[in-house]
Amino acid sequence: MQYDLPLIKGELIKRYKRFLADVRLQDGSEITVHCPNTGSMKNCAEPGWPVWLSDSQNPKRKYQYSWEWVGVQEQFKACINTARANQLVAEALENNVISELTDYSRVQGEPKVEDGRLDFLLHQDDSDTPQHKAYVEVKSVTLLDDSSGDSAGIGSFPDAKTDRGLKHLKRLLALHQQGYRAVLLFCVSHEGIERVRPADEIDPKYGQALREVVAQGVEVLAYRVDFGENGMAIQRRIPVLL
């Protein structure tokens, strides 16, 4: 995906009230921007780090600019706008980048399930049989472990306790038991992450549930995003450590 306009570079002053951040632009002016991330953003929101903003070009919006990227440790770009994960996956599915999911002819976004919605439903053909369909739930990964040694390059999910994430795991398992293919896809939008694991130290219930549903047949994949000058694209699969 490419942004419609060049991203605007600045420096993070602080993130607060969950959805707001103060940013110092390169001309020295300070603005408040929308922060499109409901998580803790652990290791992604340190004051002084470089940030990149998108401009809505809508002066009627209360906050005209949105925070898109951050320079983690001032060396790794990460996309903190969690809405981009689904856009990136949709583009990758359309372009057959995700090799494990290339046997499908049609991609349906936000399909209804019994207790809400998931992110994608893939169809092999016009058949209604579960064996010809795959449900995919996408999770954005931006938490790089800050320890060293063997943990270098390991990303974790989630970055905060997630009841919603647990609900999605249970729904994927139920669909698998009904005969559908069920896939959890980690979209890793962080240049420093080369492997992904469940963040047991943050949400042990999620880690336990993930291992349980995978043992029963739910698939888990992780794909890394590469950054361009003014855009991103999913490029390659990386390992999931369970």
For residues 4 and 32, the answer to whether their CB atoms sit within 8 Å is no
Last residue of one domain, picked from the residues 25, 57, 79? 79
Q: Which CATH number goes with the domain that contains 70?
A: 2.40.50.580
Give yes or no: residues 146 and 187 share one domain.
yes
Last residue of one domain, picked from the residues 30, 52, 79? 79
Predicted pLDDT at 151? 53
Among 94-103, 108-117, 147-156, 170-179, the minimum mean pLDDT is found in 147-156
Give yes or no: residues 163 and 186 share one domain.
yes
**Angle ∠(240,235,112) on CA atoms, nearest 5:** 70
User: Whole-model pTM?
Assistant: 0.94
Give yes or no: residues 146 and 227 share one domain.
yes
Give yes or no: residues 41 and 60 share one domain.
yes
64 lies in some domain: yes
Predicted pLDDT at 148? 44
Among 92-96, 111-115, 125-129, 209-213, the minimum mean pLDDT is found in 125-129
Last residue of one domain, picked from the residues 79, 106, 135? 79
Give yes or no: residues 60 and 91 share one domain.
no
81-99 pLDDT, tens per residue? 999 999 999 999 999 999 9
Residue the block writes with tokens 């300070």: 30
2 lies in some domain: no
**Containing domain of residue 152, as a range?**
83-237
User: What letters, b where the CB count within 10 A reaches 16 and e where it falls short, cover 139-152?
Assistant: bbbbbbbeeeeeee
Q: How many independent structural domains does the chain possess?
A: 2
- The stretch 130-136 carries a mean pLDDT of 96
Residue that wins the pLDDT comparison between 74 and 149: 74
| Position 149 confidence tier, pLDDT thresholds 50, 70, 90 | very low
Give yes or no: residues 55 and 139 share one domain.
no
Is the previous residue joined to 158 through a cis bond, with omega within 30 degrees of 0?
yes
Give yes or no: residues 126 and 218 share one domain.
yes
166-195 pLDDT, tens per residue? 999 999 999 999 999 999 999 999 999 999
To which H or E segment does residue 177 belong? helix 163-177
Give yes or no: residues 49 and 155 share one domain.
no
